[in-house]
Structure 1
């Protein structure tokens, strides 16, 4: 039976991915600070108890990561890092704790735990590591550059990790997602025509192939390419 470790498992995308992995008969170790909410979700969705294990995981508590990994009931074949935190850019400019928390959750915590997983050479069954990133990390924009910078750093880390693990034939993917209808974006004024459902993003996670960068949604694929190639003087005019 394949073992899946989901870090940040209480996110909307992660919960949809959890259901999809379980439907394939995989055992999922769902890790989050919100263990009660996760346990309630598993019960509400009538997911088989023998296929889901809930674990406490705090991305920002770096000193606990070794003990967390060592305590897992099985070594993972697949790892999904989906932990997320969003603070409005204007507020984050004056709120160091908010900015630092985004850095800890999206980058520092990811590097800490994924380094532990990636350097465990005894886990010969490790097949794939998937990171949930964002189009906000493609180019710096004045409306969200602090959040975007943490996602850009995460994406670059995954790119290097992919090369590092190449000899072990471990695939590393990054999901570069656009606007997701989730509790993290609730209340934000976002264009309805560009909103993606968590289940759609989760499908890209669960069905990830060999390609490193995966951009779910045709419209967002086009936006991704435009952002990458847009001259800086035009990027400066974006919100």
Structure 2
């Protein structure tokens, strides 16, 4: 069977790197795109099985004007797309530093809309099968500890929900991975409960094995937290950190 091509945007994140390995293990061709191409090249050389078909390209989620040229330059059109670009500043900083807040908006939402619209509307790629977005439990409900970051993830999730409906007639599946705390570069140094931290490979497995459903919440503990956040009364949510 002819191998499929996976395009991973924001491929230098810990989850994306784990996804590269898992897709490579299954024989996929991989286009890994990131601003940090040198670091990504090093990872491919040392962390990916020998003989894997991985191409590293430069991609900047905030370079909206360049997204069209980036997509047109791809060596081949993807059947699967993973948007995993991420950026975060602490809530205290985001409240007083609009540049940090704005960059989160650009990376998580505006950049995703820009490049995914281009991919989803390409009439020359009838083989597109799936788009997966890496979102967050932080986007399920506004909370005082992280509502600026969370709002950018919420917008991303809602965009994906609408994109799923738009692409339904073409039988293109859109999934959103609603993840809790991940042991990663972005959470390093944060005081998080060890019992709730998930490994990047665990999240990547949910990406690679994504089925037909829209919302995928990895981990049974986080499934319970997700339900609570969606349905708990405002007065209870307001008491959360």
Smaller-chain TM-score bracket: over 0.9
> 1:67 aligns to what?
69
Query: What is the count of residue pairs matched by the alignment?
Result: 239
- How far did residue 142 of structure 1 move? 0.3
Please list, as runs of the form range in 1=range in 2, the aligned pairs for 1:185-224 lying within 5 A after superposition. Answer: 185-224=187-226
In structure 2, stretches of 5+ residues that fail to align are: none
- TM, length-normalised to structure 1: 0.99
CA distance in 2, matches of 1:49, 1:104: 35
In structure 1, stretches of 5+ residues that fail to align are: none
Please list, as runs of the form range in 1=range in 2, the aligned pairs for 1:29-40 lying within 5 A after superposition. Answer: 29-40=31-42
- TM, length-normalised to structure 2: 0.98
> 1:173 aligns to what?
175
CA distance in 1, matches of 2:49, 2:41: 10
Please list, as runs of the form range in 1=range in 2, the aligned pairs for 1:1-239 lying within 5 A after superposition. Answer: 1-48=3-50, 51-239=53-241
Change in Cα spacing, 1:86 to 1:214, as seen in structure 2 (3 Å) is same
- How far did residue 234 of structure 1 move? 1.2
Cα deviation code 1:63-121 (max 9, x no counterpart): 00000000000000000000000100011100010000000000000000000000002
CA distance in 2, matches of 1:122, 1:70: 11
- How far did residue 237 of structure 1 move? 1.1
CA distance in 2, matches of 1:50, 1:206: 16
SS in 1 for 2:27: coil
Moved over 3 A (4+): 46-50
CA distance in 1, matches of 2:18, 2:159: 25
- How far did residue 46 of structure 1 move? 4.6
CA distance in 2, matches of 1:80, 1:46: 18
CA RMSD across the alignment: 0.8
